[in-house]
Chain A
Amino acid sequence: MAKAFKYGHKGIRGHLEPAERELLRSLFDDVISMLEPEERANEDPLAALVGLDTEAREPSDRALRRLLPNVMKNDDDASLEFRRYTERSLRESKIGALKAAALSLDRDDLVLTAADARHWATALNDVRLVLAERLDIRDDADADNVHLMQDWSQAEDVESYLALVYNFTTWLQESLVQAMVHSLDARR
C-alpha cells in the first residue's frame, strides 16, 4: 500500500507500490494527451512561438473545459479572445507539471523537492478534475457518494473502478498538501 507523503529534513517523502506507480503514470499520460494542442496546418510559426492561438475555442469536452475555463463568466467573446492569448501556454504548463510528476515515478524513492511537490500537487489536481467530470461529480453530495466507495474488491464496473481511483488520488493529494503546508510552516 502507498504511504502518505511526509515532510522531513530531506524534503517530502512518499512511497508507492509498483501497481500504484503504473496507475498514476497512465493517469498522468491520459491528461497529457487531453491537453496536447492539436497540430494545425498553415499555422503562423511566430504566433505559435509567442503562445498565440488564433484558432483556440472553448473546449466542447466538459473535463477539458474545467481544466481550461473561461476567464469571464458573462462575456464569451472576451473570454475567447483571452483564451487565444493564454490557452496554449496554460496547456503547456499543465503538461509540464504532469510530465515532471510522471518522470519522478521512475525513481525508486519518492523524495520530492519543493518544485517536484508543486508539480505533483497540480498534476494530481488535474487528474482529479478529469476523473470528477467522468464520474459526474457536480456537488458535495455527489462527492460524498463517490467517497463511500473504498473497497477494491467491490470494483465490478468502470464507474466503481473510477470512483476508487478518484478516492486514491484524493487521499494522495491530501497527504501531499498536508506535507507541503508543513514545509511552508517550517520555512517561516
Chain B
Amino acid sequence: MTLSVALGPDTRESTQTGTVTSTDILSAPDIPWNLVIWNDPVNLMSYVSYVFRSYFGYSETKANKLMMEVHKKGRSIVAHGSKEQVEQHAVAMHGYGLWATVEKATGGSGSGSGKGKGKRG
C-alpha cells in the first residue's frame, strides 16, 4: 500500500489527481472510502461540532447533525473520498484529538472490509 499523506499525491497512480479537494464533490457515489468519527466520553460536543465546521467548512446545522449522530449512534460518516483523501482527513482529525478511522464505503458498517484482525473497541 502506498500512502500519499507523507509522500505527496504524485507518488500515487494518476487516476485520481490532486485537483479534487471539496468534500462536497467527493461525495460522488463512485468514490469508495468513508471517514468515520467514533464517539468517546471525553471530547466535548461543542468541540466536535467546531472541528466539523472549521476543518470541513460544514454549516453549523450540518456540523451539529453529524456531531449528534456520533454522540447517539456511536459513529458517523462525516466525509467521503478517495482512500488518500479520507486518510488525510483522518490524520487531521487525530491532530484535533477526534477518534477517526477510514473504511471502504462498500462495507456498510465496515465489518466486511479488511482482514478482520481488529480488536479495539
Contact = CB atoms under 8 A, between A and B. Distances in A.
Interface in A64-121: 65-78, 81-82, 85-86, 89-90, 93-94, 121
Contacts of B90: 71
Interface in B67-104: 87, 90-91, 94-97, 99-103
Contacts, number: 123
A137 B40 CA distance: 9
A77 B114 CA distance: 9
Interface residues of A, number: 46
B16 interface: no
A73 B47 contact: no
B103 A174 contact: no
A71 B94 CA distance: 9
Interface in A42-62: 50-52
Tell me if A's interface is mostly helix, strand, loop or mixed.
Answer: helix
A178 interface: yes
A160 interface: no
Interface string B28-61: 0000000010001111101100100110000000
Interface of A: 50-52, 65-78, 81-82, 85-86, 89-90, 93-94, 121-122, 125-126, 128-129, 132, 137-140, 142-143, 170, 173-174, 177-178, 180-181, 184
Interface of B: 1, 3, 5-7, 36, 40-44, 46-47, 50, 53-54, 87, 90-91, 94-97, 99-103, 110-111, 113-120
